[in-house]
Amino acid sequence: MSFEPKNPMLKWVETRLPITGMLHHALYEYPTPKNLSYWWTFGSLAGFMLVVQLITGIVLSMHYTAHVDLAFDSVEHIMRDVNYGWLLRYMHSNGASMFFIVVYLHIFRGLYYGSYKAPRELLWWLGLVIFLLMMATAFMGYVLPWGQMSFWGATVITNLFGAIPVVGDTIVTWLWGGFSVDNPTLNRFFSLHYLLPFVIVGVVILHIWALHTSGSNNPTGIEIKDKQDSIPFHPYYTVKDLFGLALFLIVFSAFLFYAPNWMGHPDNYIPANPLVTPAHIVPEWYFLPFYAILRAVPDKLGGVMLMFGAIAVLFALPWLDKSRIRSARFRPIYKQLFWIFLIDCVVLTYIGGQPAEEPFILVGRIATGYYFLHILVLLPLVGMFEKPKPLPASISADVLPKKSSDKEASNA
Partner 1 sequence: MLKLIKTLSVAALLTVVSIAGAQAAGGGIELKSATWKHEGLFGTYDRAAAQRGLQVYQEVCAGCHSLRHVAFRTLADLGFSEAEIKALAKEATFVGGPDDDGEMFDRPGQPSDKFPSPFANEKAARASNGGAFPPDLSLIVKARGGFENYLYSLLIGYDDAPEGFDLPEGMNYNTFFSGHKIAMPAPLSEDGVEYSDGTPATVDQMAKDVTVFLAWTAEPKLEHRKNMGMKVILFLLLMSGLFYAVKRKIWAELH
Q: Which residues bind partner 1 (CB under 8 A)?
A: 34, 37-39, 73, 76, 79-80, 86-87, 90, 105, 231, 235-236, 239-240, 242-243, 246-247, 249-250, 253-254, 256-258, 260-261, 263, 265-267, 269-270, 279-280, 282, 285, 288, 346-347, 349-350, 352-355, 403, 407-408, 411
Identify whether the C-beta of residue 328 lies closer than 8 Å to the C-beta of residue 114.
Answer: yes
* 3-state class (DSSP) for residue 408: helix
Identify whether the C-beta of residue 68 lies closer than 8 Å to the C-beta of residue 182.
Answer: yes
Please give the positions annotated as active site.
212, 216, 240-241, 284
Cβ count within 10 A of residue 310: 19
Identify whether the C-beta of residue 146 lies closer than 8 Å to the C-beta of residue 68.
Answer: yes
Query: What single DSSP character describes residue 25?
Result: I
E strand or H helix at 228, and its extent?
Answer: none
Query: What single DSSP character describes residue 147?
Result: B
Identify whether the C-beta of residue 77 lies closer than 8 Å to the C-beta of residue 86.
Answer: no
Of 58 and 254, nearer to partner 1 (C-beta) is: 254
CA separation (Å) from 10 to 2, 6, 27, 191? 15, 7, 17, 38
Of 3 and 236, nearer to partner 1 (C-beta) is: 236
Residues of the chain by 3-state class (helix, strand, coil), percent to 5: 70, 0, 30
Residue 288: CB minimum distance to partner 1, A: 7
Of 188 and 234, nearer to partner 1 (C-beta) is: 234
Amino acid type, 383: G
Of 105 and 164, nearer to partner 1 (C-beta) is: 105
Residue 111: CB minimum distance to partner 1, A: 14
Identify whether the C-beta of residue 84 lies closer than 8 Å to the C-beta of residue 92.
Answer: no
Asked if the peptide bond before residue 219 counts as cis, ω within 30 degrees of 0, the response is no
Asked if the peptide bond before residue 235 counts as cis, ω within 30 degrees of 0, the response is yes
E strand or H helix at 232, and its extent?
Answer: strand 230-232
Residue 95: CB minimum distance to partner 1, A: 14
Residue 322: CB minimum distance to partner 1, A: 27
Instruction: In whole angstroms, give the CA distance from residue 52 to residue 58.
Output: 10
